[in-house]
A and B are shown apart, each in its own frame.
Chain A
Amino acid sequence: MNNTKNTEAERLSFWEKIYIPEIAKGLGLTLKEMFKPKFTRQYPEERWEPEGSYRGRPVLVHEDSGERCVACGLCSRVCPALAIEVQAGETDKDKERFPAKFEINMLRCIYCGFCEEVCPEEAIVMSKDYELVFQSQQEAIMDKERLLVPVAQLQDRLEFLRQYR
């Protein structure tokens, strides 16, 4: 760089050196922004409702007749982070298989959504739940009770998915 002026003071022009016009310019910008719409959000009080395309915590769809999951184990197989464990059991229902145990380790989950994509029963979907805080490693392993969500709460996501089926 061919710069012979070494200090900040040497590089500034006279008007810049006296600061006052620059301060006025800055205050002008601030004043202008005060009358524009706000982009920030008062988070804990004011919550963001994500779109159907949002990939939050994976959950199991719960219908009136029970869970949709038949414990085929494909989500567990496709999961790149090995977050899902499924143990099947036998029921008397028409679909003989059900998940006796279904656990997702949320410390392993990377929210890729492969489990949802591979599911043949549309039983596991990505919810809008993004508030995930745990106080211990054991607490982060979600069992069936915590994973089952009524189908009514998942309509947005299910509709979003249907566009791509």
Chain B
Amino acid sequence: MPQIFIDGKKIETKAGKTIIEAAYENGMQVPHFCWHPELSVAGNCRMCLVEVGSPKRSADGSVELDENNNPVISYIPKLQIACGTPVSDGMYVNVNNAKVIEAQEAVMEFLLINHPLDCPICDEAGECKLQDYAFNHSNGESRFVETKNHKDKRQKWGPNVMYDAERCISCSRCIRYAQEVAKQDVLSFVQRGDHVTIKVADGEEFDNPYSMNVIEICPVGALTSPDFRFKSRVWDMSFNDSISFADSTGSNTKLGVRNNEILRVQPRTNMYVNKYWLSDDARLNHYDFVNQNRITEPMIRIDGKLEKVEWQDAIQETAIQINKFKPSEIFFLSSAKATNEDNYAFQKFARQVVKSNNIDFFSHIDKSFEDNFLGVADRSPNSNGATEILGGSQSSNYKVNELAGAISSGKIKCLIVMEEDFKHHEHIIEHLDKLELLVVMYYNHNAVTNKAHIVLAASTYAEIEGTYTNKDKRVQHFTPAIVTKENMRFMGLKMSRLDKFGSFNDRWTQHEARNCKQSWKIIQAVANAMNASWSYKRSEDIFEEISSKLMGFKNMNYDKLDLHQGLILYRADRPDPILNNYDSHVMKPE
């Protein structure tokens, strides 16, 4: 194992690593623009120049020592790029001395010559690597008095990516991403010198299911998202950790929220799941339902019309109505879109309170999303968790595919639906008319809630704390990003400054704090109205019970899930090693 010294600190590393990799794995930073751990080394930004040397040896091969008995180092006269220089045993590296700083300042000055410096207009401001480095590694003044070079703004590379040639610093990250990760080799440098720009090949579009990742890896604001352009400043938003709702990949995400609306979904690094990437579908298509068309209050059908009621009335009514049926006439439709905690509470309610074993869930399969990268056919985030929790051994009397038949033959008279929209199973909706009681816990108004007798307003994944189990059976913990009446106190510190301190006469806080509840809380209230005595206070209480009762979840708790970025079912005692995650550029200060 080679030992190298970075700024005098001894580091053990593996042969074949580059200096920048060795530094990052040991928590040290080398300024850089073009290097990215998942992409090939280009070495064209010159920002990571460092001084490299090795101990001087005498003619007999012994190391020369100075008067203080320290080895005399002979440095390579010119600086080397840390991203392209492999480590060798006994190497001495200076990342921070005067010579290196002079080089960094020169590189920054050079990069800023033709950069338009339009930070007030640019969407990247506040999370821009060039901006951060201009503050930290530049002398702050320009000696350039000539006219700047102007290039084309607002070029559309594809449906989801906009390019501003002026702001580009030609790091080639996007070109390498398109070649190596997205496998759509359509981007290339054209022209030379200060006229260099990036073009999409003639007659082509940069259009693939993962195109928007170039927006995150772009160190400047050259690549922006048409979906988010000019919507909000990043410092006005709060970013909370979540898990993608799109599919069973379980990609780790951050939800950008302002005014209680999700404005942006971004990937969060998890080397065991999605690495640094996120599919365009997960970014664009799974937050509108949180923002719009929400069921904000519980509702009961009175004289054929759904009327808003108080929670306690809705709960009482639900309990009274459910008690009118025999347990065998009730079907509990659980959901692969609900968390492990909600599924556990639901099956406990069915099996222990109502004493019915008619419980199953729909799977949502769409083969068109399948690929050999992050895409999978399973379009629900928690199907493995639902399977594990509902339990194969105590399998249901009716399977979900017998549901339509059982309803039309009158064997099932009451259906209780938790967080299920019947997508991919629309043919069942028409049979729901025959039910005597349909109770729905859901977030949006849709064809099913229109037929329901009791609608209980459920919280979406962005409003709750819980766990999902992904396609690799990795249980991952996520926290809320959006305020509801129920979680308002808990969310106080997690909101952005504007949302936190707005008052009733500020128009920017005219958002809705919806009166919806996490499904297990609704279920607990109904169970208690039916003479059970449940006393869960937080999602964590339910998860503790799950981990003590179900073998798969043994030894798991929220702290461990956070620490290891998820644990795999039945393998909680053998977690994956904790990695030092690389962050290309993060908004500062936090």
Chain A residues close to B by CB (< 8 Å): 70-74, 76-77, 82, 85, 88-90, 95-97, 103, 105, 107-108, 120-121, 137-138, 141
Contacts and interface: CB of A to CB of B under 8 A. Distances in A.
Contacts of B153: 96
Most chain A C-beta atoms within 10 Å of own C-beta, residue among B118, B121, B229 = B121
Contacts of A73: 233, 235-236
B376 to A, nearest CB: 35
Given A85-B506, A85-B507, A97 B125 contact: no
A85 B508 contact: yes
Given A88-B230, A90-B229, A105 B121 contact: no
Given A77-B233, A82-B501, A72 B120 contact: yes
Given A90-B229, A96-B153, A96-B154, A77 B120 contact: no
A105 B502 contact: no
B120 A74 contact: yes
A87 to B, nearest CB: 8
Given A72-B121, A96-B121, A121-B120, A77 B230 contact: no
A74 B236 CA distance: 10
Contact of A70 (B121, B154, B498, B505): B121
Contacts of A82: 497-498, 501-502, 506
B119 interface: yes
A97 B501 CA distance: 26
A107 B503 CA distance: 12
B127 to A, nearest CB: 13
B505 A97 contact: no
A70 B125 CA distance: 13
B134 to A, nearest CB: 14
B236 A76 contact: yes
Contacts of B502: 82
Interface residues of B, number: 21
B481 to A, nearest CB: 20
A103 B497 CA distance: 17
The 6 tightest CB contacts between A and B, nearest first, are A72-B120, A88-B230, A73-B233, A97-B121, A85-B508, A137-B505
Interface of B: 118-121, 125, 153-154, 229-231, 233, 235-236, 497-498, 501-502, 505-508
B293 to A, nearest CB: 22
A90 B236 contact: no
A119 B284 CA distance: 33
Nearest to B153: A96
A105 B119 CA distance: 26
Given A72-B125, A141-B507, 18 more contacts: A70-B120, A72-B119, A72-B120, A72-B121, A74-B120, A76-B236, A76-B498, A77-B233, A82-B498, A85-B506, A85-B508, A90-B230, A95-B118, A97-B120, A97-B121, A107-B505, A120-B119, A138-B505
Contacts of B508: 85
A77 B236 contact: yes
Nearest to B120: A72
B230 A89 contact: yes
15 contacts: A70-B121, A72-B120, A72-B121, A73-B236, A74-B120, A82-B498, A82-B501, A82-B502, A82-B506, A85-B506, A88-B230, A95-B121, A96-B121, A108-B506, A120-B120
A107 B120 CA distance: 27
A124 B27 CA distance: 43
Nearest to B504: A137
A107 B507 CA distance: 13
Contacts of A137: 505
Contacts of A107: 505
A81 to B, nearest CB: 10
Contacts of A70: 120-121
A138 to B, nearest CB: 8
A103 B502 CA distance: 14
A41 B236 CA distance: 46
Nearest to B508: A85
Nearest to B154: A96
Nearest to A81: B501
A130 to B, nearest CB: 23
A78 to B, nearest CB: 11
Contacts of A77: 233, 235-236
B224 to A, nearest CB: 10
Nearest to B150: A94
A97 B153 CA distance: 13
Contacts of B501: 82
A136 to B, nearest CB: 10
Contacts of A90: 229-230
Contacts of B506: 82, 85, 105, 108
Contacts of B231: 88
Contacts of B236: 73, 76-77
A66 to B, nearest CB: 15
A95 B119 CA distance: 11
B395 to A, nearest CB: 53
A81 B224 CA distance: 31
Contacts of A141: 505, 507
A82 to B, nearest CB: 6
Contacts of A96: 121, 153-154, 230
Nearest to A119: B120
Most chain A C-beta atoms within 10 Å of own C-beta, residue among B154, B230, B231, B507 = B230
A97 B118 CA distance: 10
A165 B121 CA distance: 21
A31 to B, nearest CB: 54
A39 to B, nearest CB: 39
Nearest to B236: A73
